[in-house]
A and B are shown apart, each in its own frame.
Chain A
Amino acid sequence: MSAKAAKWIFYLGTLISLLIFLGLTVDTHRQVQTLTHADQLSEQVVAGKRVWHKYNCNDCHTILGFGAYYAPDMTKVYWRRGEEGIKAMVRTPEKLTTWRKMPHFPLTEQELTDLVAFLKWTSEIDTHDWPPQDAKLRRTAQAAVAMAVSPGAALFKDKGCFGCHRMNGTGGTLGPDLTHAGGRLSRATIAKILENPRSVNPQGIMPPPSLNPDERNQIADFLAGQK
């Protein structure tokens, strides 16, 4: 190969790659508006992102798969745990972790609410079905709901109950399996738990779900029917 050819490889190789990259960057900026639902990127979400940075969450947790690999990925955490689940973990990590621990961080209630807004917005970014385990959870949860169509079942999914509870093999393992909840607990007990979990089990770690009385009744009906 001549020295001249070598120089051509350098100039052309660099230029071609650079042009492709910059061109696609311009187009990506356009498409990201839709892919990330940028219209829902409120001031509260941005405030939550600042909280995320302030406490250096990203040097233990990944988000979009980036960061440190020490703790679970936060991209779809809102699907797994819901608002109350996230808040409980930040407020009382010592109750919800085992051998690998999460530190206490002095978040104010406002910061915590902002952080949840940020994570909720993040969970709706179109990541082409990544991460696989969360995509699978959402698919099976939707299938489980479709099997037992009722407003209570839909609420059970939307309120993030699957984050901690399993039904028919789907969901988290932090709380008890509710596949046969109606066989073990009366409807009245279920309703009481939904209003204030500690009134039934004072040692429990379940945070009080934010439900209005109608929603509470519908979920209680649904669960009481799972014999």
Chain B
Amino acid sequence: MPATHPSQRVAYPYFVVALLLFVLQVLVGTWLAVNYWASLPQWLVDVLPFSTARAIHTNLLVLWLLLGFMGSTYYLVPDETGRELLSPGLAYLQLVILAGTGVVGIVGFLFGWTKGKPLLELPHPLDYLIVIGALMFLFNVGMTMLKARNWTAIQGSLLGGLVFLALLYLFDLPFYRNLTIDWYYWWWVIHLWVEGAWELVAAALTAWILLKITGVNRAVVEKWLYVELGLFLFTGIAGTGHHYYWLGAPRYWLWVGGFFSALEPLPIVLMLWDAWQHVKERQIPIRNRLVFTYAIGMAIFHLVGAGFWGFAHTLPQINYYTHGSQVTAAHGHVAFFGAYVLLNLTFFYYAMPELKGISRFSERRGRITFWWMCLAMLGMGLSFSISGVLQTYIERVMGLGFMTAQAQMRFWFAVTWVLGLILLVGVILTVVDLLTLGPAPHADERA
């Protein structure tokens, strides 16, 4: 069934921009990996410091994931509310503002224009433009839902997550005099995004997709959605404490952070189980098997990256030695890929063919590139982890110097780089596949 509401079309340019930024993000990532193993000449380091490239890599990640969520939301809302978007024109304008701000920001980084806070480097007034873009988005989505008056748990979760997301960003805006307080609220943005607001959005998008592709009873899907959200927020909000162990905060955060974050894998396990049940008990025939592959792959990778890799170093006794090492980098890469990259790609593989009016798309290429990317990222997770264990032991346990440890990790940085190049090829092929989707050769279009 192709997209039935004309205003859903605004999602398509969001997807395209997001995908192009995704390629750029991974490309810059491979350059970062070169910085880790190679010895670059001083003049090059002076012209393009690692810090600049890293700011570009992480900001592109945040930008493309958010644009993907926004596009997905614009696709979902008319279908879910049964009403056209309030203003497609506003949605296009919002895309121009956000993408434009991103491009200006990245060029600015190259010239040293930065706020100097990791992941939130966008300086004033660019960060205000992001707020304006977010407000336009919330207005458009919120008003559409309000006017439709056709509330569902999926809409509530989605809108709640998006409002929460925008509110939290406000904590990035002030200048904090005290470094400890600065980082305390930095985590309100970063942690409460990825383990709070974004999980709400992700759970809503996942529930909706499952509803669409399996045809199971809405009441069942929404019931589990409530339980998942409750567990996500119960473990996630106080779980912020696992970032407060060593930053100059009281010692009770070791208990609070340790306890709540140890429970954080629970909702993810439930999400996987729940997705699996729905797929097993589906009421309608499978049209595009690849969307199922992505949905289940996302749930598994989400559990592995965010759940297992996160749990591995969340307890204070372990975190004392692994905090701020390559172990963190390993977790960050696998978790973002599993939880949010694959979620966006799942949605794109569902929505982009519909927007093109293709009922059954040719999925041979997409199936290969799915496994290609997943295996490359799994390999990267492992090689990052080996570096992390080496660093933890040599630098933290034995107490030798930072560079002494880095020298021993150099080989594994090179391995990570090679795997990153393989990932880059997989990402490019996936993006090409998504942008050039065609009907399956023997598909009965009217089936």
Binding site for B on A (CB under 8 A): 1-3, 6-7, 9-14, 16-18, 20-21, 24-25, 27-29, 31-32, 35-36, 38, 41, 46, 49, 52-60, 62-73, 94, 98-104, 118, 122, 125-133, 136-137, 172-173
Contacts and interface: CB of A to CB of B under 8 A. Distances in A.
Contacts of B186: 66
A73 B49 contact: no
A197 B246 CA distance: 38
A13 B328 contact: no
B183 interface: yes
B116 A57 contact: yes
A16 B234 contact: yes
B237 interface: yes
Nearest to A106: B112
Given A13-B233, A36-B178, 19 more contacts: A9-B226, A10-B226, A10-B233, A24-B256, A28-B253, A32-B248, A46-B177, A56-B51, A59-B116, A65-B323, A67-B324, A69-B325, A70-B54, A94-B42, A98-B403, A100-B403, A126-B248, A128-B254, A131-B246
A13 B234 contact: yes
A66 B231 contact: no
Contact of A56 (B121, B244, B250, B252): B121
A59 B324 contact: no
A46 B180 CA distance: 12
Nearest to B190: A66
A14 B230 contact: yes
Nearest to B192: A21
Contacts of A103: 45-46, 49
A16 B235 CA distance: 10
Interface string B159-200: 000000000000000000111111110100000000000000
Interface string B235-277: 1111011011111111111101000100000000000000000
A53 B182 CA distance: 12
Contacts of B251: 128
B385 to A, nearest CB: 13
Contact of B324 (A16, A66, A128): A66
Interface string B317-335: 0001101111011000000
A167 B55 CA distance: 40
Given A127-B248, A130-B245, A21 B240 contact: yes
Interface of B: 35-36, 39-40, 42, 45-46, 49-52, 54-55, 112, 114-118, 121, 177-184, 186, 219, 222-224, 226-227, 229-231, 233-238, 240-241, 243-254, 256, 260, 320-321, 323-326, 328-329, 395-397, 399-403, 406-407
A61 B402 CA distance: 11
Contacts, number: 217
Contacts of B236: 17
Given A10-B226, A21-B237, A59 B178 contact: no
Nearest to B175: A50
Contacts of A173: 401
A151 B177 CA distance: 36
A41 B180 CA distance: 12
A58 B35 contact: no
Given A32-B248, A65-B246, A66-B186, A14 B237 contact: yes
B399 A35 contact: no
A17 B54 contact: no
A18 B237 contact: yes
Given A53-B115, A64-B179, A132-B321, A7 B226 contact: yes
B118 A59 contact: yes
B250 A70 contact: no
A59 to B, nearest CB: 3
Contact of A52 (B116, B184, B325, B403): B116
B223 A1 contact: yes
Contacts of A60: 49-51, 54
Interface centre among B40, B253, B324 (most CB of A within 10 A): B324
Contacts of B178: 32, 36, 38, 41
Nearest to B407: A99
A141 to B, nearest CB: 12
By Cβ-Cβ distance, the 7 closest A-B pairs, closest first, are A53-B116, A65-B324, A13-B234, A59-B51, A130-B246, A13-B230, A10-B230
A174 to B, nearest CB: 9
B203 to A, nearest CB: 11
Contacts of B329: 69
Contact of A41 (B36, B177, B230, B254): B177
Contacts of A72: 401-403
B179 A102 contact: no
| Among B35, B326, B329, B402: residue with most chain A CB under 10 A | B402
B34 to A, nearest CB: 12
B231 to A, nearest CB: 6
A32 B324 contact: no
B151 to A, nearest CB: 14
Contact of A13 (B219, B231, B321): B231
B230 A28 contact: no
Q: Which of B52, B117, B219, B241 has the most CB of A within 10 A?
A: B117
A173 B404 CA distance: 10
Contact of B180 (A3, A53, A125): A125
Given A64-B248, A130-B246, A132-B397, A9 B402 contact: no
A11 B226 CA distance: 9
A31 B39 CA distance: 44
Contacts of A29: 181
Contacts of A71: 50, 402
Which of B46, B50, B55, B244 is the most central at the interface, judged by chain A CB atoms within 10 Å of its CB?
B50
Nearest to A97: B403
A3 to B, nearest CB: 5
